[in-house]
Structure formats: structure tokens, C-alpha cells
Amino acid sequence: MSDSSRPSATLTAAQRKAVAELMRVSPVADELGERFAAAGHELHLVGGSVRDALLGRLGDDLDFATSAHPDETQRLLKGWAEAIWTTGAEFGTIGAARRGLRLEVTTYRAEAYDRVSRNPIVRYGTDLLEDLRRRDFAVNAMAVSVPGHRFVDPYSGLNDLAERRLRTPGKPEESFADDPLRMLRAARFAAQLNFTPAPEVVAAMTAMAADLGRITAERVRDEFVKLMCGADPVVGLRLLVDTGLADVFLPELPGLRLAIDEHAQHKDVYEHTLTVVRNAIRLEDEKDFVLRMAALMHDVGKPATKAVGADGRVSFHHHELVGARMTRARMKAMKFPKDVTADVSELVALHLRFYGYGRGEWTDSAVRRYVTDAGALLPRLHKLTRADCTTRNRRKAEQLYADYEALEQRIARIAAEEDLARVRPDLDGNAIMELLGLPPGPMVGKAWKHLKELRLERGPLDHDEAVAELRAWAKANGL
């Protein structure tokens, strides 16, 4: 354990430079430290802010720990901060904004958990070392005093940072018993930062995986989203499956290990899925949770639809539709917003539609329906479909690539001719009511739907054709 009263002897010149750079780009921290010091309080930059500064990836969010209680913190921020928020006050945290930075100042904690309820019992502490001990991992248990810039590393987090290792300040069993979400956070850091949990941490995660069930769905969801948006979520996903954590909140993922892919070749559906996730990431323009989640869930319907034919071939008929239902149910259980759930499940439902295009069966009508059904999800569907091609057969892979290139070119051609982004009937509701003498009601909707189907099937109709088709439909329906 390094001496907390002076800079750590293990701090290299490069790391000192990183801390100095943090102070250079964040003079706000020193200003704030001076205000707290004048009032007789300590203030330290802590946790992820110190870790990220040493990694050279500091953002605009800074975390501080202080000996001041929340009401005193709020008083010290008043008149200095450009904005103050107190939504975290019950947990000892006061937020503020200053010069484009978001600051969170939290009173030293000596948290206690009853290990039954889903939230901590917050008890304020009086000592920085006590506060650092209650943090999740040693790499997050470092601090830099402001304005003095004294580096504090009581749990050798700096060494762990150099070795990209995750250890808990105390025994991992004690840490995870206090807050089981820390187990999921270990997987998140593996995905975000390419850190490797120490063997004792993995052992505790495996033994205590069921404890994650004590955590609210919302907290689990938020950590999982951060994991999925990490640099390499596959590393974190493997850790979740290997330790049994995924069984608690995402059992569909380990369930994929039970199904061999339809070609019975080199990989099972689980390995195929992880490959698709990585492929999708390579294709995205920016981090896209919806695309990544759709890639993760696209084949979850396979175990439930697996069948073996008389010839011994394995099939998964309609697994995309079953998978879409399973995806909606899982994301609802995890409390995802309805729009995010709808987008991910729709991509799962549509991900197989492309297959068959290369056989030459698609008419322009089929292309229009593909585009119309995908709607705003079409760019993501393009990426998901391409990502789903994981075959090692070079000839087959090249053919699939050529087929999808041809489809995209065909979509572009038809779109240019017909404005596919706004496929609507050639007559609107007002024109339908006027031509047929109908009042507003369900028959107008049925007529509109009939004309839309014609539009998808035949492309744009001129006005006279559309009127003739409408009248023919009305006659056939007794109008």
C-alpha cells in the first residue's frame, strides 16, 4: 500500500505528465479546490477521472470527493458554478457546470449495505482513505488533491492500470456482496478499457452471479448499455457468459451455445453471434447501440426453432420472428424505452429478408416492400445483413457481398425513380372520400390500404389509373 500522504513513488514521469495535463486542461479543478480549502475542507479529484487522465482519455465530466457535506458543498458552489443540480443530494452528490465541464462533488462515504435491498445505505465518512476503500476497483481508488496535486494511491491502482488489471480494494466477495452491480461493471470495464479481471475477481463473480438478481432492472440495463457501447463488447459478453452473470438478466445469450448453426460447420450459434457483433461494429459510422443489440439478438430464436430433417440437416424455420418476440420480451424486462425496443426487435424480424434475393426471385415490388417495411431502419438493416455473413467459404462470401451490392444499387435506382422514402397511395384520404362520397371512417382506411398495396406492387400510378383502380375496388366492395 503506497503512502497516502505524499505522491506515490511508482508514479512515472509520463504519468506525472498525465496528471499535470489534467490540471492544465481543467484549471476549474484548482479554482474549486481553493474555494473548498478556504472553507477548511478537502477536495480530491477521484475515481474514473484520475484513471482516465492517466490513460489519456479524460472527458468533460469530473468527479470529486470532499470532506464537506452536501449543504456546504452547495453553498461553496453557489455564485461560482454556472448551474447547480441536486438530484443526487440524498446520496451526497451535488452537480455543477463550469466552463463547459460537468462536475460532481460527493461527500466522503462510508457506505453500508444491508445486502438485501437494492440500494446502498449512505453514511458520510470523514476520511479520504475510507472513501477510496469502498470503491469498486483499485484503478478507480486513486485520487489527486486540488489545488495541491498530491497523488494518492492506497491500493496500487497505478500498477493495475499499467497491467490493465481489475482488482477490488478489499476482498472481491465483500465488495460484490455490498453491491453486486460491481460484477457487471467488471465486464463493462473489460469491454470499454480492455482490462482483465484478476482470477480472484472472476472466481467471486462466478460464485456470486445469482446476487445480481438483487439489483434493479434499470441499473443493470444502464451498465449493460455501457458494456455494449464499449470498444470491444465481445470481451465483456464472454465474461458475462463464462461467469454465469448473463444467465441472470440475459439468458438468451448463453442459450445460443445449445444450437449448432444450420450448416453444422466450424462454429455454433453463440460464436457466430459474437462474430456478427464485431462485424456490425466495423460497419457502423458511430457507436450505435441499436445496431449492436440487434446483432447480439438476431439469432436468439434459433434454439426454440431448431429441427433436424430426414436428411440430417438442421433448420431454424421462422427463427427471426420468434427471435423478435423474444427480443421484445427481454428488452421490456430490462426496462428499455419502447422506441429502442421496437427498433431492435424489428431489425431482428427483418434480418433474413435479404436471403433469397440472389436467386433472382425479387421483383421491383419485393424491393419496394423491403424498403417500406424497413423504413428509417434501412441503413441499419443493410449493416446487420452484411454483418451476418460470417461464412469462411470465400466463394459464397463473395457471392453474398455481390448480391447485396446489387440490391443496394437496385434500391437506389428505384428510389431515384419513385421516391421510396415516402411510398404512399397515389390518392390521399380526402381524394378517396370525395371520389366515393364517403364520410371519414374505416372504409376510407381500407381504400387507402388497397391503393398503397397497388403502389408497392406496380410503382406509381398516374391520376386516371389510380381513380380507375379505386372505383373498381369500390364496386367490388359494394360501394
Structure-model confidence comparison of residues 21 and 218, the more confident one: 218
Report DSSP letters for 366-432, one per residue: HHHHHHHHHGGGHHHHHHHHHHT---S-HHHHHHHHHHHHHHHHHHHHHHHHH-GGG---SS-HHHH
Helix (H, G, I), strand (E, B) or coil at 84: strand
pLDDT for the residue numbered 249: 97
Cα 315 from Cα 400, distance rounded (Å): 20
pLDDT at 248 over 90: yes
pLDDT for the residue numbered 397: 75
Give per-residue pLDDT as tens, 221-245. Answer: 999 999 999 999 999 999 999 999 9
Give per-residue pLDDT as tens, 296-322. Answer: 999 999 988 888 777 777 777 789 899
pLDDT for the residue numbered 356: 62
Name which of 200-214, 382-396, 457-471 the model is least confident about: 457-471
Helix (H, G, I), strand (E, B) or coil at 229: coil
Give per-residue pLDDT as tens, 429-450. Answer: 677 777 777 788 788 778 877 7
For 5, counting Cβ atoms within 10 Å of its Cβ (0-12 exposed, 13-18 middle, 19+ buried), the class is exposed
Cα 69 from Cα 360, distance rounded (Å): 71
Which among 169, 159, 165, 224 is positioned nearest to 195, based on CA atoms? 165
pLDDT for the residue numbered 98: 93
pLDDT at 8 over 50: no
Give per-residue pLDDT as tens, 334-362. Answer: 999 999 999 999 999 999 887 765 566 67
Q: How confident is the model at residue 59 (pLDDT cuts 50, 70, 90)?
A: confident
pTM check: above 0.85: no
Q: How confident is the model at residue 120 (pLDDT cuts 50, 70, 90)?
A: low
Which among 26, 111, 125, 7 is positioned nearest to 66, based on CA atoms? 125
Q: Which phi and psi angles does 67 have, rounded to 5°?
A: -80, -15
